Structure 1
Amino acid sequence: MHIKSKMAKNHKIVSLVNAEIYQRNETETKCSTHTTEDLLMYCNSCQFPICRDCITSGSHHNHEMIKIGKAIDNNRNKFSKLIKQSKEKLSKYEKIVKTIEKNSQEFSVSVSQKINEVKTRNNQLKAALDRIELEYIRHLQDTDRENQKSMTELKNRLQKEMADLNQLIQECEGKQGNENIGMVQFVTEVKKRLEKYGSCDLIDAANSKDLFGQLGTKTATTVNSPLPQNRNIPIATSVMNAKIVSTFTSDKTHVVTTGNNQAWLLNSGGRKITLVTSYGKVIKYINTDFGVYDAAVSASGDLFVTVYWGNKVKKLTSHKTFTDIYTAADDYETRGITVTDTGHVLVGFCCYIYSKLVEITTSGEHIRTIQYDTVDNKLLFDSPRFICTNINGDIIVSDNRDKVVAVNKSGTKRFIYDGKERKL
């Protein structure tokens, strides 16, 4: 009925749902400066829609203008492109969001895996520590058994000497009143018998517990750890603190310990080797028909020597004689010798400037030769006089050039030290 009315013939009817949009669109057809005027043209120079009053006011004089309908058509294409670009960006954002969600999920899974790895390594570490504890306790118990055994042997020895001394005292007291010449002879005999009871003078009975030393710890070996970066865990082992048990004098310059409170004494180039106890008591002499340059003892107690002005390595047999186990070329001479932790024998050889180390088994089988630097192919040694190995398996050589040459267990040079100060 409203539409049929003459008064509403120019009215436009819209639904209440579209009323707000219609009102906004109607507002957009009016000029923002001249609010009662419709937008008729579009100024390309200002890129702004204008009305009739805008044109007549002269503010857009000489500006390029087109009809508003054409401007709408032109911008409709641009608007379509903008929509397309917006959709493309939206698609990219959606992909990024999916990537973030995927990475976040994968990271969570990785964290769970790392947590499990940490727990596993923690359990491995606990197991390793338990093994260390057992090894340490076992070592302490073994040390205690060894000490108890040594102390028992020492006590038995002292008790036997005490019994002998008591018997000697009784004999002396029984003959104390004699006035014949036999008394003089007996006094001489007593003096000789007393000389062999010297062990009592080496022990302070009031402080006998010092013989055990004092238990301490040191980093001795390492075990593979489950920790990252292949870190190592030090094993604490029981050691006896250094303590002087006895002192004695000798005309020998070389001391080679056997590991059972005994040592071989010799002079470089000498022909006699002496086996003594840690108190200096001579056990035996071995005379050789050759000069001995250096000696070494294996863990099983075998004695190996190098020949002075010779090219042979010899081993002491059970018959107390030396037998050849390795012979180098005639132009080589033997020098220092040592036994490694692996039970092999390292021997130094020199030949003018062509010195080398040779590793052999205890039976004399050749294992390898260490002679040249693997980096610059230069000779490592010049008459390796004395040799030893450290806890890492490195081989340390006292060289004739007044230098110390160190190579690792594979024979690669670590350093050469000549006594000069190094600047860091």
Structure 2
Amino acid sequence: MAAETTTLDFQVATKKCELCQEKDAQFYCNDCQEMCSGCKTIHLRSKVSRSHNVVSTKLVNSIGKTTQPIKCTTHQSEIIRIYCTSCGEAVCVKCVTDIKHKNHNFDELETTLYSYQDEISQNILETKHRIEQLQKLIHTIDVNVKDNTEVSNKTINDINQQRKQIKSDVDKIADDLVDQVQKRKQQDLKLTQKEKKDLQKIISDHNEYLQTCEETLKLMKDI
């Protein structure tokens, strides 16, 4: 479908065939308006109208517009009417006999369009479903991140509280130990001072005794 198309907007209601005026119109021709399936066959076999672009009225109503005839890029005088399913290319009737499309499989262009339309609609539904799944996954991730953040913050807060408590306990123990050392130091100091005082008393007594002895000795020498 390489050719560029131009579009004509219009509204199509259920009408009678413009050619036989009997049956309901099932197809739309850009040049001849609505026609039934029987008239379509005759219309496309006629030398005058076989180059007309005829599409289903259902397709016209579903998209709200039709396309101007798309010329074949290989046979430029021919209009694209069928689709080569083997090579994935929209072609004209003459392309069917070309060696390029030998033994290929073909389908009506309209049927192929409907098939692609259904496929695209299915892809849209699957993509929307996938987006919903991904959004749910993102929501789950956000919830997990929030929960993990709250748990981590609580754990950190508990650790800090325990650290403060441990530090307070250590400080109390250290203060008690320092107080005990201070008391022991004071006790040792008093004991040492007492021992020193006792020793000084003994020395003083010895000095007095020594002086008495010296004086007695001197007296005896004088006698």
Q: TM-score, normalised by structure 2?
A: 0.58
- Pick the structure with more strand per residue: 1
Tell me which residue corresponds to 1:144: 182
Q: How does 1:21-420 map to 2 (within 5 A)?
A: 22=65, 25-26=67-68, 29-55=70-96, 58-60=98-100, 62-66=102-106, 68-69=108-109, 72-73=110-111, 76-77=114-115, 79-80=117-118, 83-84=121-122, 86-179=124-217
Question: C-alpha displacement at 1:73, in angstroms?
Answer: 2.7
Residues 1:10 and 2:31 aligned together: yes
Q: TM-score, normalised by structure 1?
A: 0.33
Partner Cα separation in structure 2 for residue 107 and residue 97 of structure 1 = 15
Question: C-alpha displacement at 1:61, in angstroms?
Answer: 5.3
Deviations 1:117-149 (A, max 9, x none): 312321221121122122212211211210121
Give the counterpart letter for 1:22 in structure 2: K
| Rg comparison, structure with higher value | 2
Contact 2:95 2:101 in 1 (8 A): no
How many residue pairs were aligned? Answer: 163
Question: C-alpha displacement at 1:157, in angstroms?
Answer: 1.0
Tell me which residue corresponds to 2:4: none
Closer, same or farther: CA 30–172 of 1 in aligned 2, 3 Å: same
Structure 1 runs not aligned, ≥5 long: 1-8, 13-17, 183-424
Partner Cα separation in structure 2 for residue 136 and residue 66 of structure 1 = 96
Partner Cα separation in structure 1 for residue 121 and residue 184 of structure 2 = 92
The SS at the match of 2:217 is coil
User: Which of structures 1 and 2 has the larger relative contact order (alpha carbons within 8 angstroms, sep 6+)?
Assistant: 2
Contact 1:40 1:51 in 2 (8 A): yes
Deviations 1:138-173 (A, max 9, x none): 211211210121121011011111111101111110
Structure 2 runs not aligned, ≥5 long: 1-29, 34-60
Question: C-alpha displacement at 1:59, in angstroms?
Answer: 4.5
Give the counterpart letter for 1:121 in structure 2: I
Deviations 1:177-205 (A, max 9, x none): 3239x9xxxxxxxxxxxxxxxxxxxxxxx
Contact 2:96 2:102 in 1 (8 A): no
Give the counterpart letter for 1:64 in structure 2: H
Tell me which residue corresponds to 1:292: none
Q: Percent identity?
A: 14
Partner Cα separation in structure 1 for residue 71 and residue 84 of structure 2 = 15
- Pick the structure with more helix per residue: 2
Partner Cα separation in structure 2 for residue 73 and residue 179 of structure 1 = 153
Over the residues paired in the alignment, what is the CA RMSD in angstroms? 3.5
